[in-house]
Amino acid sequence: MMVRLFFILTMMMSALTQADVKDVRVWQSPDKTRLVFDLTEPSEHKIFTLSNPDRVVIDLMAAKSLKNVAEIDVKGTNVKAIRTGKRNKKDLRIVLDVSQALSPKSFPLKPNKKYPFHRLVVDLENKQAIKAVAAPVKHIKQSGSSKRNIIIAIDAGHGGEDPGAIGPGRIYEKRIVLAIARQLEKLLKKEPGFQPFMVRTGDYYIGLRERTAKARKANADFFVSIHADAFKHPSAHGSSVFVLSERGATSEAARWLADKENESDLIGGVSLEDKEDHLAMTLLDLSMTAKRNSSVQIGAGILKQMGKVSRLHKKQVEEAAFVVLKAPDMPALLVETGFISNPGEAKKLAGRSYQKKMAKAIFSGIRSYFKSHPPRGTLLASSHGKSSAVDNWQSVSGKNYTKPGHRTYVVRRGDTLSAIAVKNRVAMSRIRRLNKLKSDNVWVGQKLKIPTS
């Protein structure tokens, strides 16, 4: 009797809790198409592909039909069209006509401050494009020289599902920071000895950990994340520069901003599988103090330049626990180019001329630091005179200026390339370069050269 009653209740519940698909958004990145479904209730789903022609089928259990499928904007994506139909009287079948064979992955996201709905994220991965995107960036050698360029990873914050802060007049942080990032890219392209690497190139979301992973793969010498955020008081204004802190934030605004930035993964959408395990992170954290000082030096240079274009929020480089700055092998900074929540500043931030000036300030700060601290083996180091060539990583402590050279490290059981880099306090990219490694795989007994200067 109880069993039967329970069954009837469940039936009633499920009838009551039929999910309604409220909206669908489609984002295209270089290697995948992301579809996000807003649902009034969490719904179980099945997903599979069909070929000839290529289609992706999503069955949403106990769900109601999508409104105006034709209105969903799929322009510029790998989805050509979306069709829907009823299935088993209570389920909803969504068929995506796609331009090529794509591998689907999906995960749910719970409601949060920005999105009151349950979201179902479907990522359609293009395996060929993933391979191309994941290929390491080749150092461009200047003609007639064997010296490499300094690689600067430019990270435009937010993107796609995560708009970042929204200012008065619907000014989106994700758009402004991408515009500034593109200006910075232009300046670095023109500067001999430098090579920009854009972490985000369009309107799509990248997880916080994935951003530094991309920069690491690109063998970046430096990572800069660009933002324009909001504060609870609209009167807050001015630009600021942050480095990673393990111990806590230097001001209330710094803590507030770090908390907001760290929410990005919840809003932009990162599946649990993408999160690095805790042990790996603890290992990485060990090495971070070493590069913090050079981050502070670069940051101070940028602040000085920014002070000429805008008012500064704080005159010193600030510290806070930004997840996006947790990269062990390169100095990293987060630049707040102004407060989008301040009406006057929002207007300036949206204008091309201020965006250019901000990019120029960041560029000048980076250039002047690397001109006086060129990493060994770079074109800048050779034009600067070999004796003064130091590695930015080692220059942090100021006392590690030993003769150029290396020692040998024998790989032990359980070692990974990143753990070896951390243990020896050198950048992974330097070990890779010195040993001419084609991949990050290491084997027990392998002898690796570890740079000592």
Q: Which is nearer to Zn ion, 117 or 322 (CB)?
A: 322
- Name the segment binding Zn ion (CB under 5 A); options: 71-79, 128-136, 139-147, 229-237: 229-237
- We find the least distance from the C-beta atom of residue 357 to Zn ion, in angstroms, to be 19
Q: Select the residue interacting with Zn ion from 118, 200, 209, 227 (CB under 5 A).
A: 227
Q: Which is nearer to Zn ion, 124 or 340 (CB)?
A: 340
Q: Which is nearer to Zn ion, 55 or 227 (CB)?
A: 227
- We find the least distance from the C-beta atom of residue 191 to Zn ion, in angstroms, to be 26
Tokens (6 digits) for 59: 């069955």
Q: Which is nearer to Zn ion, 164 or 365 (CB)?
A: 164
- Which residue's C-beta sits nearest to Zn ion? 227
- Is 229 among the residues that bind Zn ion (CB under 5 A)? yes
- We find the least distance from the C-beta atom of residue 260 to Zn ion, in angstroms, to be 7
- Name the segment binding Zn ion (CB under 5 A); options: 148-156, 157-165, 316-324, 396-404: 157-165
- Name the segment binding Zn ion (CB under 5 A); options: 224-232, 309-317, 345-353, 414-422: 224-232
- Is 338 among the residues that bind Zn ion (CB under 5 A)? no
- Is 159 among the residues that bind Zn ion (CB under 5 A)? no
Contact letters for Zn ion, residues 164-203 (x by CB under 5 A): x---------------------------------------
Q: Which is nearer to Zn ion, 163 or 451 (CB)?
A: 163
Q: Which is nearer to Zn ion, 19 or 154 (CB)?
A: 154
- We find the least distance from the C-beta atom of residue 340 to Zn ion, in angstroms, to be 9
Cα dist from 68 to 23, 58, 86, 333, whole Å? 9, 17, 15, 44
Instruction: Indicate the burial class of 20 (C-beta count within 10 angstroms; 0-12, 13-18, 19 or more).
Output: middle
- Cβ within 8 Å of residue 359, ≥6 positions away: 180, 181, 183, 184, 186, 187
- We find the least distance from the C-beta atom of residue 257 to Zn ion, in angstroms, to be 8
Query: For Zn ion, how many residues bind (rule: CB under 5 A)?
Result: 4
- We find the least distance from the C-beta atom of residue 324 to Zn ion, in angstroms, to be 9
Tokens (6 digits) for 435: 């040993």
Radius of gyration from C-alpha coordinates of the chain:
24
Name the site residues for Zn ion (rule: CB under 5 A): 157, 164, 227, 229
